[in-house]
Amino acid sequence: MLPANTAERMCKLYGILQSIGTNSEYVSSKELAVMMGTTDHTIRKDISALNIMGFTRKGYHVSELTATLAEALKFSRPYKACIVGLGRLGTALLDYEAFKGDGFDIVAGFDSNTNKIERLRTTIAVYHSSDLDHVVKNKGIEIGIIAVPAGSAQEVATTLVKSGVKGILSFSSVQLKVPKEIVLYSMDFTSALRFVVSQI
């Protein structure tokens, strides 16, 4: 497997390549470095982990690089995901532009508040949390996005794992315990904000 940091950078690179689209046929490591906020060394080193060749004085073939990256990062097919917790953050994610269309299918939302479920207007099906297990299994959802309050995050994570989810993106500040074969990535706003302060 790709080194973790390389993979993380490549996920960002993938987004950048998509935004380049067909606007240019080639892109150099130097140009990519600017768009990525790294150095051209890093770009080339990262790409060297792929089985791909750039062209002298031209750079990399955008569509070829995109396709190779997609394969390396397993984006070759769309993944079904769900969002658990439809508070402000959860609903923000529900219609987050960037999630749409490309690589991910947000196929369900869950909340424990029945009123909230009824009030919500969205094109995505929403369910009560008690249906989590059932719906995840039925729809073959592979990724769970956790946007519930800290108190219920672990419970949700456990249910998601039991229902067959393979990866979890958590916005909760609590450390979730999941089996080691489950991919877990946490984004904690408060920690991030603290980090900014600490680096000032």
39 binds, among its own copies, DNA, none (CB under 5 to 8 A by kind): DNA
Q: Tell which positions 173-192 bind its own copies, by CB under 8 A.
A: 173, 175-177, 183, 185, 187-192
Instruction: Please report the DSSP string for 84-100 in residue order.
Output: E--SHHHHHHHT-GGGS
CB atoms within 10 A of CB 52: 15
Q: Write down the least CB distance from residue 169 to DNA, Å.
A: 20
What mask, x for binding its own copies by CB under 8 A, covers residues 86 to 125? -xxx-xxx-xxxxx---xx---------------------
φ/ψ of 36, rounded to 5, equals -95, -20
Instruction: Please report the DSSP string for 133-187 in residue order.
Output: HHHHHHHT--EEEE-S-HHHHHHHHHHHHHTT--EEEE--SSPPP--TTSEEEE-
Q: H/E element holding 103?
A: none
The reply to whether 21 sits near its own copies by the rule CB under 8 A is no
Cα separation, 17 vs 144, in Å, equals 26
Nearest 5 degrees, angle CA 177-CA 183-CA 185? 75
87 binds, among DNA, its own copies, none (CB under 5 to 8 A by kind): its own copies
Segment interacting with DNA, rule: CB under 7 A, options 23-31, 103-111, 136-144, 158-166: 23-31
The reply to whether 23 sits near DNA by the rule CB under 7 A is no
- Identify residue 117 by its one-letter amino acid code: I
What is the greatest pairwise CA distance in the chain? 61
The reply to whether 160 sits near its own copies by the rule CB under 8 A is no
Q: Write down the least CB distance from residue 91 to DNA, Å.
A: 34
Q: Tell which positions 34-63 bind DNA, by CB under 7 A.
A: 38-42, 44-45, 47-48, 52-60
26 beta partners: 61
Q: Which positions touch DNA (CB under 7 A)?
A: 3-6, 28-30, 38-42, 44-45, 47-48, 52-60
Q: Which positions touch its own copies (CB under 8 A)?
A: 2, 7-8, 10-12, 14-16, 34-37, 72-75, 79, 81, 87-89, 91-93, 95-99, 103-104, 142-143, 145, 149, 166-169, 173, 175-177, 183, 185, 187-200
